[in-house]
Copies of this chain bind each other. A is one copy, B any other.
Amino acid sequence: MVHSSNKQIVLLSHPTGFPIAGEHLGVHTTQLNTILEEDEILLRNLFVSVDPYLRGRMNDDKEAVIPGFEIGKPFSSGGVSEVIQSRNPRFTVGAIVVGEAGWEEYTHVTAAASDGFNVIEGARESKVPLSSYIGVLGFPGLTGYGSLKAFGQLKKGETIYISAASGAVGQLVGQLARLQGLRVIGSAGSDDKVEYLLKELKFDAAFNYKKGDILENLRSHAPNGLDIYFDSVGGRQLEAALEVLNLYGRVIACGHISVYNGQESHGIRNLYQVIGKRITIRGILVNDFVQDEFANFQRDVGQHLLNGDIIYREDIAEGLENGAEAFVGMLKGANFGKAVIKIADL
């Protein structure tokens, strides 16, 4: 089963603007070391997650909170993988695991790194697609579930606004809020995404942020103002939401994709709004929710998926050959649903 060659998507150079496939990242084949030391495992990767925050890891920034990628080395992110060799008693050959996998056919996991992998019990009989474990049942899902629970203070009848609402996190946030009786407003970057939000996800209102004025759209769709803004975008979206937020409004700041690609950031000119309205803006990373909430999250959202209360759309690129383009496309909003690269079949 194990090949000595290993196809990878690697960082070629540090981009300043939008990365270009072939220039800043690209496919590369290297040799695989299949000889395991004690507690090491060898993985055959099935799916890896394509996330906005990975753009930051392409920068040459030694002080970044999340360590960057090295030139010539593969990208890595949440992945679903099959254990094909093991010298670690926690993992049997054939187990399906989730953890930080390389964007490559095979990942040789060190003893230290093996702590970050967990077995998906019953994976081969799973009623949900295995890619769910890096999406709606993985870190993107936990980002939404954990931050709403910790900081959203959701109350029935309140109004929540979600930007990037058809994306990996937004889809789940909107449906969780709807299930708790909130009025849910979403925006996305195309008319078909807006239609998906309204018809499939049953949002109360949705609009295409590229058409018309964001502030006017918010004012018309949220006549009683906003209580929560779930922000994956920053910039003009955040500025507009601050205008429409109510007293004691909450902003959950989960991403700031409007600046990730080195476009000049739109300066926020109305932060004084937070004072009179006693708004809280809270930056969040999923890491903070893993210990206390991961089990609750998988139980609750898993049940909703089985009930059909929550649905989840993925945009799957087939093969590492198409992975670099899928990543660049995701940064530009070309994906429709959670972006994933499928590396191999189980």
In A244-288, which residues have CB < 8 Å from any B CB?
Answer: 247, 253-256, 259-260, 264-285, 288
Select A283's contact among B264, B279, B284, beta carbons within 8 Å.
B279
Whole-angstrom CA separation of A83 from B282 in the bound complex: 46
Is the Cβ of A265 less than 8 Å from the Cβ of B275? no
Whole-angstrom CA separation of A65 from B275 in the bound complex: 10
Most chain B beta-carbon neighbours within 10 Å: one of A260, A270, A278: A278
Q: Which B residue's beta carbon lies closest to that of A272?
A: B256
The reply to whether the CB of A74 lies closer than 8 angstroms to some CB of chain B is: no
A265 cross-chain contacts in B, Cβ below 8 A: 269-270, 272
Interface residues on A, range: 35 or more
- The digit string for A188-220, where 1 denotes a CB below 8 A from any CB of B, is 000000000000000000000000000000000
Which residues of A come within 8 Å of B, CB atoms? 56, 64-66, 234, 238, 247, 253-256, 259-260, 264-285, 288
Is the Cβ of A282 less than 8 Å from the Cβ of B276? no
Question: How often does this chain occur in the complex, in copies?
Answer: 2
Known: A65-B247, A247-B65. A275 touches B269 (CB 8 A): no
Q: How many whole Å from A134's CB to the nearest CB in chain B?
A: 20
Whole-angstrom CA separation of A64 from B65 in the bound complex: 39
Is the Cβ of B247 less than 8 Å from the Cβ of A271? no
Known: A279-B283, A280-B282, A281-B280. A253 touches B274 (CB 8 A): yes
Q: How many whole Å from A266's CB to the nearest CB in chain B?
A: 7
Is the Cβ of A275 less than 8 Å from the Cβ of B247? no
Is the Cβ of A283 less than 8 Å from the Cβ of B288? no
Select A275's contact among B256, B264, B267, B275, beta carbons within 8 Å.
B256
